Chain A
Amino acid sequence: MRRITRITTVGVASAALALSVTACGGKSSSDAASDSKNPKAALAYDVGGRGDQSFNDAAFAGLQKAEKDLGVKPAEAEPSEGEGDPDKVQRLTELARAGNNPVIGVGFVYASAIAEVAPKYPKTTFGLIDDTSKTGKNIANLVFNEEQGSYLAGVAAAKVTKSNTVGFIGGVETPLIKKFEAGFVQGVKDTNKNVNIKVQYLTQPPDFGGFSKPDLGKAAAQGQLDAGADVIYSAAGLAGTGAIEATAKAKKWAIGVDSDQYAQKGLAPYKEYILTSVTKDVSDSVFNLIKSVKDGKPQSGEVRYGLDKDGVGLSTSNPAYGKLTAVTTAVDKAKADIIAGKIKVKATP
C-alpha cells in the first residue's frame, strides 16, 4: 500500500509541477509589437561576445554607426558557454518580441535558430551572418569571401618573410576558419613556392575556446615563432589577440583578422608589429541591413561581400606597411587579378 502511495506522490508531484509551469503564464511570444517610429535593431552575438576585438566587435561597430547615423535604438544579447539551439531560439525570440527589427544573428551558429524563429515573425527581418544554408523571405544571408582577403594576406606574408617560414593560427577547426586557411596558403604558395607554412588550430569543436582564450593563441604563436616563423596570421577572434601579443613581443610581423586590428585600442601596445589585417566588413554589412530595413526596403536572400565591393580586403593603416612598396604592389596586383577572375581562390584547403 505504502509503495503505491509513494509512487503516486512522486508522479502527482511532478505532473502537477509540470502542468503548473506550463499553464500559469498568460503571456506568450505572439504579443510582440514592432514600432516603426522608433526603430530598434538587435545583435545576438557569437561565442566570445562583445569585446573580442574582432568578429563580434565588428558587428557592434555597425550597430553603433546605425545608432549615430540613423537614430536606431540598439539592443545586444550575448550567448552562454555551451548552450544549444533552444537557447538561441529563445534569444532571437526575445529580441524580436521586444520589437527589434532587424534582428541579426552574428555567426553561422544561429542558422537553425533563425530558420525556426523567422516564420513566427514575418514582419521582422532577420540577418544571418556567414551562412546561406537557411533562407526565407525575411532572412538576409550576409556572407563574405573570406578566402579572397586571406589570399592577399598570404601574398603579403610571402613577400615580407625573411626566414621563409610563415604561420597560420586558426581559432576553432570549423569549415569557416578553413576558408581563411585555404586562401592564405594559396596566396603564399602562388607568390613563393619555397615558403614553409605552419598551420595550427587552437581547439576542436565543440570546444569553442579557440575563439575566446588569448592564452591559447599566445602559446600557439610562441610555438610557431620558435619554429622560425616570422609572419603569423591568426584567424581566431579574441584568442588571436594573444597571438598578436606574442608575435609583437618577438618583434615579428602579425597579421590581424576581421577588424582593422592596428586601429584597436586594446592592441595599441603592439600595433607597430601588426602588418595589416584581413578585414571582413561585418560592420558595413550590419549597417547596410539596418539601413535597408529603416528605408522600408529590407534586404533578403544572399548578400555577398567580396573583394570587388571591398567587403573583404587588407587594411593599410599601419604606415610601415605602406612603405613596403614591393609588398603593396604585389598585393594590389593580386587583388586586381582576383576581381578580374584571373585568379580563382579555393575555399577549402
Chain B
Amino acid sequence: MKKFDKDRLLLGLAGPALALVVAFLLTSVVLLLSGRDPVEPYTLMFENAEFTDVQVLILNQTGTYYLAALAVAIGFRMNLFNIGVDGQYRLAAMLAAVVGASIELPGPLHILLIVLVAMLVGALWSGIAGFLKTTRGVSEVVSTIMLNSIATSLIAWLILPANLGVQPAGSNDLTTGEIAESGWMPGLDVEGGSIYGFTLIAFALGVVYWFVLNRTRFGFDLRATGESESAAQASGVDAKRMVLTAMLISGAVAGLSGMPLLLGQTHTYSLSFPVGVGFTGITIALLGRNNPVGIFFAALLISFLEKTSASLDQYGYEKEIATIMQGLIVISVVVSYELVRQYGLRRQQQKVGEELAAQARKNKEEVAA
C-alpha cells in the first residue's frame, strides 16, 4: 500500500484552489469593467444560500450533476471523451418516463424498472458511439455530438401526441403522461423541501465508482487502457472490448442522471425538462479531476453558483455573472492544473536530485573513511 503523501495531496488541492481564486478575481475585473460593485453580487449569493429551500435545491442539483459528471469521468479515465452524456440523459429520462407511466407495479419494483430502462437506454445510445469506434474507428467525440442532435429530434418526434406523448387538457405542454404514485421515489423531508431519494443514491454511486476503478481488476484494466492502449494490449487486455464496455457504463450512468428529478419531482418528461446537464457534467468532471470526492465538491460548487445567482437580476445584477464565472473556472482549471503539474514535476526532480547528491556524498565519505 502506498504511503500517504502529503505533498501530493497539497499539490492536488492547489490546482482547483488556484483556479477558483483566479476565476473569482477575473469575475471581479469583469464587474469592475462594466461599472458594477465587484463584491456585492457575491454577498447577495451567500445571503441567498442561507435560505433552507435554496440549500435543498442546491443539494438536489448536485445529485443530478454528480451522476452526469461520473458518466463523463468514466470515459475520461479511459481516455474517451463522451460528449453525448446530454443526449443519453435526455433520451433515457424520456423513455424511462414513458415506460414508467404505462405500467403499474408494486412500489420498489416500479422504481427499479424505471431505473433499469433509463440505464439501458443510456447505454444503448452511448453504445452506438462505442460500436462505431471499435468497428469503424469513428472518433467518439464526433459521433456523440451527432447523437446528441439525433436524440433531440428523436425525442421531439416521440413526444408528439400521435406517438408516445400526451397533451394534458388545457395545457400547451407535451408530456409523457404521469407516472403512477408507486413509481415515485420517496425523498428525505427536511426544512425547506425534500431531498430526492435518488440524490442520496447518486452519492453512493460515487463510492462504487471509486471502488470499481481502484480496487478491481476491471478498474485496473480500464485505467491501463486509458494510459496506453498498446501497452494494455501487450499485457493481455482486450482494448476494443474495454472501449465498448467503458462507453456502455458511461451511458448507463448518464441515463441515471435524469432519475433524481424524474422520480423525485416531475414524475413525467415534458418540454420543460432541463437540458445541458451533460455539458455541465464535463465541466464538473474536469474540475473534480475525475476523483469521486473532487467531483462531489465541484458539483456542489457549480450548483451553488447556479442556484444562488438565479435571483441576482432582482437586485439589478445580471445572473449571467455566474455563467461568466463558470466559464472562467474552466479556463483557469486547465491552466492551473498544467502549472501545478509542471511545478510538481520540477520539485520532484529537485528532490530526487538532492537525494542522489546526498547518497553520493555519503558514499564518498564512506570511501574516505
Contacts and interface: CB of A to CB of B under 8 A. Distances in A.
A206 B152 contact: yes
Contact of B52 (A28, A112, A131): A28
A340 interface: no
A82 B276 contact: yes
Contact of B274 (A13, A82, A98, A207): A82
Contacts of A81: 275-276
Interface stretch (A19-27, A56-64, A213-221): A19-27
A25 B55 contact: yes
Nearest to A79: B310
Interface string A76-93: 111011111111101101
Given A18-B59, A90-B54, A205-B156, A80 B170 contact: no
Given A108-B173, A133-B168, A205-B156, A10 B273 contact: no
Given A10-B206, A84-B272, A86-B261, A91 B152 contact: no
Nearest to B323: A80
A80 B310 contact: yes
Nearest to B296: A14
Nearest to A146: B172
A250 interface: no
B173 A133 contact: yes
Interface in B291-305: 292-293, 296, 300
B368 interface: no
Contacts of A78: 313, 319
Contact of A7 (B56, B167, B207, B319): B207
A131 B171 contact: yes
Given A28-B192, A205-B156, A10 B271 contact: no
Given A131-B172, A174-B172, A28 B53 contact: yes
Interface in B46-87: 49-61
B223 interface: no
A94 interface: yes
A76 B211 CA distance: 47
Contacts of B203: 14, 18
B281 to A, nearest CB: 13
Interface in B256-274: 261, 265-266, 270-274
Main secondary structure of the interface of B (DSSP, over half): helix
B266 A85 contact: yes
Interface in B164-200: 167-174, 190-192, 195
B303 to A, nearest CB: 10
Nearest to B199: A18
Interface in A1-33: 2-3, 7, 10-11, 13-14, 17-18, 21-29
Contacts of A23: 190
Interface residues of A, number: 56
A111 B292 CA distance: 37
A76 B52 contact: no
B245 interface: no
A269 B52 CA distance: 50
A258 interface: no
A137 to B, nearest CB: 17
Given A22-B59, A82-B275, A108-B173, A204 B156 contact: yes
Contacts of A18: 59, 195, 203
A263 interface: no
Interface in A300-322: none
Contacts of B53: 28-29, 90, 93
B289 interface: no
A14 B63 CA distance: 11
A91 B215 contact: no
A109 interface: yes
A132 B223 CA distance: 54
B195 A29 contact: no
A88 B270 CA distance: 14
Contact of A133 (B54, B170, B272, B319): B170
Nearest to A45: B313
B192 A77 contact: no
Given A14-B206, A25-B55, A77 B313 contact: yes
A338 B49 CA distance: 53
B173 A109 contact: yes
Nearest to A3: B215
B314 interface: yes
Contacts of B143: none
B173 A98 contact: no
Interface in B25-58: 49-58
Given A22-B52, A77-B311, A108 B171 contact: yes
B153 interface: yes
A22 B55 contact: yes
A197 B207 CA distance: 58
Contacts of B275: 81-82, 206-207
Contact of A25 (B50, B156, B266, B293): B50
B174 A174 contact: yes
A91 B310 contact: yes
Contacts of B49: 25
A88 B310 CA distance: 10
A176 interface: yes
B307 interface: yes
A78 B311 CA distance: 9
A175 interface: yes
Contacts of A21: 55, 58-59, 300
Contacts of A84: 261, 266, 272-274
Contacts of A131: 170-173
Interface string B308-338: 0011011000010000000000000000000
17 contacts: A7-B210, A13-B293, A14-B296, A22-B56, A25-B49, A27-B52, A80-B306, A84-B274, A86-B261, A90-B57, A108-B173, A112-B266, A131-B171, A131-B173, A132-B169, A175-B173, A207-B275
Given A24-B55, A27-B52, A132-B169, 9 more contacts: A7-B210, A25-B49, A29-B192, A84-B272, A131-B170, A131-B173, A133-B168, A133-B171, A205-B156
Interface of A: 2-3, 7, 10-11, 13-14, 17-18, 21-29, 75-78, 80-88, 90-91, 93-95, 98, 108-109, 111-112, 130-134, 141, 143, 173-176, 204-207
Q: Which 9 A/B pairs are nearest by Cβ-Cβ distance?
A: A132-B170, A84-B274, A204-B156, A133-B171, A82-B276, A176-B172, A108-B172, A82-B275, A205-B271
